[in-house]
Amino acid sequence: MSQGKSKDVISITVEFSGGLEMLFSNQRKHILSIPTKDESGEASNVAFLVRYLCEDVMQDNRRELFVLDDTVRPGILVLINDADWQLEGEDKYEIQGGDNIHFLSTLHGG
Amino acid sequence: MALSLPIESTIKSLRYQIASCEAQLQDLRHQLADAENRAHWHTIPFESLSHDMIGGVPGDIQTEFLAVLSQNGERRRYAKAWPLEKHEYKRYGRQLIMPEVGLQGQLRLKTSSVLVVGVGGLGCPAAAYLAGAGVGKIGLVDGDTVEESNLHRQILHSTGRVGMTKVESATVSLTQLNPTGEYLAYSSRLTPDTAIEIFQSYDLILDCTDNPASRYLISDTCVLLGKPLVSASALRTEGQLMVLNSPPRPPGDILGGPCYRCIFPKPPPAESVVSCGDGGILGPVVGVMGVLQALEAIKIITRGIQHPDLICHIDIDKPRFQTNNEMPPNPPEPPSLLLFSAYSNPPFRSIRLRSRKSKCASCSAQAIVTREALTSGSLDYVQFCGIVSPVEALSVSERISVDNYARIRTGTNPITGTEARSDSHTLIDVREKVQFDLCNLEGSINIPFSVVSRTSVFVKGNSAKDVGEEEWVTKMRGLPEKKPIFVICRLGNDSQLAVGKMKELGLDCGGRRWVGDVKGGLKAWRDYVDPEFPEY
Ligand SMILES: [Zn+2]
């Protein structure tokens, strides 16, 4: 990682499921080291993580299947440590080391 | 045409005869179930009659009636009415002896009614377990007929019933499984103008459908009528399950459970919704989810459903028969989403969900989804969720029909008079590799659509992930310029998008090389050229 010293990054687990893994090299679980601070020096939150994933992790060109209007598109649930992100402050939740952030596309088949 | 008429009328007449025999059979099955019920009623000892009469007949008439029946004073001493019929103790014995069910739970199941919307991969196992457990009345809603491709997962249907409506086929199976239940079939798709009327006579709803529009409609109707909802879905190797509007309190009451709109205020973009037909589904995966729906339904019913307006138990207010194993009232579980992923470890995970959303369009005090809005048709669920229009990405000159393409592959070119050669062109099949390996046209090259669509057209700066051009692009650039490129897929949608992408990537050599798609894909190929090409 170009960020350099380990104290400037936090290690987290990011998971994709419900088909979203296809946008991320078909890999469900990613262990990532993300910067502790975002572009403007604020503590990295989920909004930053979403931008980071688009810029640095996503290999697929179809960004619209993940983000819409600068946030995750409708139909994707964001789970922070096994809880709906709506319980944790949504995209303003500040990421802690060791967090598990899970992006889940809802299924509709039956 | 004239020659084929007799055979056509034979087919028609046979179809008609089969249909009428099937209808007759169905009627006979109903009669049999009724007769078996009545026969049972006659054979049970008169002692149990007192229970059977409770409800419909005033007490004094009942006493008289019993007195007439029980001429024998000796037998009268043993006269005791059992709350369940004799055969029911036997049939449900294995669950009756569990404290989670017990006598009271079984009576609640018996007097309960559950509506199963969608009689497919979820609805079949769900309805089977509910009927098996002794749910008194099960409604089935589905507008489809049984297809061969349903049978690997839709366990109530059978090979012999392909073509029959799903609700009818399921009714036959359920009646065989448990003839004491009442099964009601609604053989058309759920719509906003029928939903309230159908839902009204049920205690609990199971969402076993396969599209977002139905999911919003079902949730809205459940909130309006105060019915708990067990919702599940599945695709490929994964499943999701939620119990919604439980407890079912009126809109604005924050003690009620969240509804589908609380969790998903906005529907997903229509293009992001993948069906089982396109994405695939493993039978036991959707089966597990349907079974879990039945389980949640049994838990809710045996616990006792509270009606939002009455706040009293839907069935017996107080058991007249003392039960020793009565469970303390279980509080409803906090809202959660259960995830199942067959190939992950652990395969099950439970996610904590939010409670009711204070601005929910359906279940909050400011709800805009009202009974009037629903019945007047002002809520267009299909439009709300969007529809994927057929892809029309290419011009006429960029497309070729399957007939013309067939002539290019075999036979003599009608214009040039030259013999067709399979190496006169390049055929690219953009289906995913698994599908390509199932069946393909000889000489075709597989470049999966997922690979084509993820390829970026613009070369970015010196970011670490820029590893140069994708291999398939380089390979295609190397193909001889004079050979046209035909792109084919399953149905003729992806092939158009792939052609667009290839042109963006400059694979048409600035117009010198023809790149286009085969209209209608391999489906059209099978329909118009080669009926032997496998359908899957
Ligand atoms: Zn709601």
In the annotated binding site of B for Zn(2+), the residues are: 259, 262, 360, 363
Task: Inform me whether the pLDDT recorded for B46 exceeds 60.
Answer: no
Compute CA distances A2 → A8, A25, B37, B439, whole Å.
11, 21, 76, 46
B 139-158: CB under 8 A from A: none
Residues on chain B touching A68 (C-beta within 8 angstroms)? 269
Q: Clarify whether residues B32 and B49 are in a common domain.
A: no
Q: Clarify whether residues B332 and B454 are in a common domain.
A: no
- Whether A19 sits inside 8 A of B233 (CB atoms) is no
Determine, yes or no, domain membership for B237.
yes
Q: Clarify whether residues B319 and B466 are in a common domain.
A: no
Q: Clarify whether residues B230 and B378 are in a common domain.
A: yes
Instruction: Read off the DSSP letter of residue B132.
Output: H
Determine, yes or no, domain membership for B491.
yes
CA distance B318 to chain A (A): 39
Q: How confident is the model at residue B460 (pLDDT cuts 50, 70, 90)?
A: very low
Backbone angles phi, psi at B422, to 5 degrees: -70, -20
Backbone angles phi, psi at B401, to 5 degrees: -80, 160
Q: Smallest Cα–Cα separation from B501: which of B430, B443, B405?
A: B430
Q: Given this model, what pLDDT does residue B14 score?
A: 77
Q: Clarify whether residues B119 and B70 are in a common domain.
A: no
Radius of gyration of chain A (CA): 13
Q: Clarify whether residues B165 and B117 are in a common domain.
A: yes
Residues on chain B touching A65 (C-beta within 8 angstroms)? 272
Q: How many CB atoms lie within 10 A of CB B214?
A: 24
Q: Which domain holds residue B61?
A: 44-81
Does the pTM surpass 0.90? The reply is no
Task: Inform me whether the pLDDT recorded for B60 exceeds 60.
Answer: no
Sign of CA dihedral A49, A51, A55, A57: positive
Q: Give the C-alpha separation, B215 to B212, whole Å.
A: 5
Domain count, chain A: 1
Q: What is the largest CA-CA distance in chain B?
A: 105
Q: Give the C-alpha separation, B226 to B381, whole Å.
A: 20
Rounded mean pLDDT, B37-62: 50
Prior bond of B414 cis (ω within 30°):
no
Q: Given this model, what pLDDT does residue B327 score?
A: 46
Q: Give the C-alpha separation, B106 to B209, whole Å.
A: 28
In degrees, rounded to 5, the angle at the alpha carbon of residue B263 between the alpha carbons of residues B450 and A30 is 45
pLDDT, averaged across chain B: 85
Q: Smallest Cα–Cα separation from B156: which of B187, B125, B181, B135?
A: B125
Determine, yes or no, domain membership for B358.
yes
- Whether B215 sits inside 8 A of A108 (CB atoms) is yes
Q: Clarify whether residues B24 and B168 are in a common domain.
A: no
Strand partners, B341: B238
Q: Clarify whether residues B71 and B22 are in a common domain.
A: no
Determine, yes or no, domain membership for A51.
yes
Rounded mean pLDDT, B77-84: 77
Q: Given this model, what pLDDT does residue B16 score?
A: 67
Per-residue pLDDT reduced to its tens digit, B175-193: 999 999 999 999 999 999 9
Report residues of chain A scoring pLDDT below 70. 1-7
Q: Clarify whether residues B207 and B59 are in a common domain.
A: no
Determine, yes or no, domain membership for A86.
yes
Determine, yes or no, domain membership for B308.
yes
The yes-or-no answer on residue B489 being catalytic is yes
Q: What is the largest CA-CA distance in chain A?
A: 48
**Ligand 1 (ion): which residues have CB within 5 A?**
B 259, 261-262, 360, 362-363
Q: Which domain holds residue A75?
A: 9-105
ipTM of the complex: 0.92
Q: How confident is the model at residue B394 (pLDDT cuts 50, 70, 90)?
A: very high
Rounded mean pLDDT, B376-399: 89
Q: Clarify whether residues B165 and B314 are in a common domain.
A: yes
Structure tokens at A48: 């930053």
**Contacts of B246 by beta carbon, 8 Å cutoff, 6+ apart:** B228, B229, B257, B300, B332
Q: Smallest Cα–Cα separation from B137: which of B95, B174, B188, B105?
A: B174
Q: How many CB atoms lie within 10 A of CB A56?
A: 14
B354 CA from centroid of ligand 1 (Å): 10
Domain count, chain B: 4
**Contacts of B192 by beta carbon, 8 Å cutoff, 6+ apart:** B217, B374, B375, B377, B379, B381
Q: Given this model, what pLDDT does residue B314 score?
A: 39
Check residues B117 and B460 and name the one with the higher pLDDT: B117
Q: Give the C-alpha separation, A11 to A25, whole Å.
A: 20
Per-residue pLDDT reduced to its tens digit, B5-27: 677 777 777 766 776 676 677 56
Determine, yes or no, domain membership for B23.
yes
Q: Given this model, what pLDDT does residue B159 score?
A: 97
Interhelix angle B283-303/B102-110, rounded to 10 degrees, is 110
> Tell me, what CATH number does A46's domain have?
3.10.20.30
Give yes or no for a contact between B205 and B227, defined as CB atoms under 8 angstroms apart. Answer: yes
CA distance A73 to chain B (A): 7
Compute CA distances B390 → A75, B34, B253, B275, B430, whole Å.
22, 49, 43, 15, 18
Q: Clarify whether residues B179 and B317 are in a common domain.
A: yes
Instruction: Read off the DSSP letter of residue B299.
Output: H
Determine, yes or no, domain membership for A61.
yes
3-state secondary structure of B87: helix
Determine, yes or no, domain membership for B132.
yes
Mutation test of the interface with chain A: which of B230, B282, B351, choosing the one with the most A Cβ atoms within 10 A?
A: B351
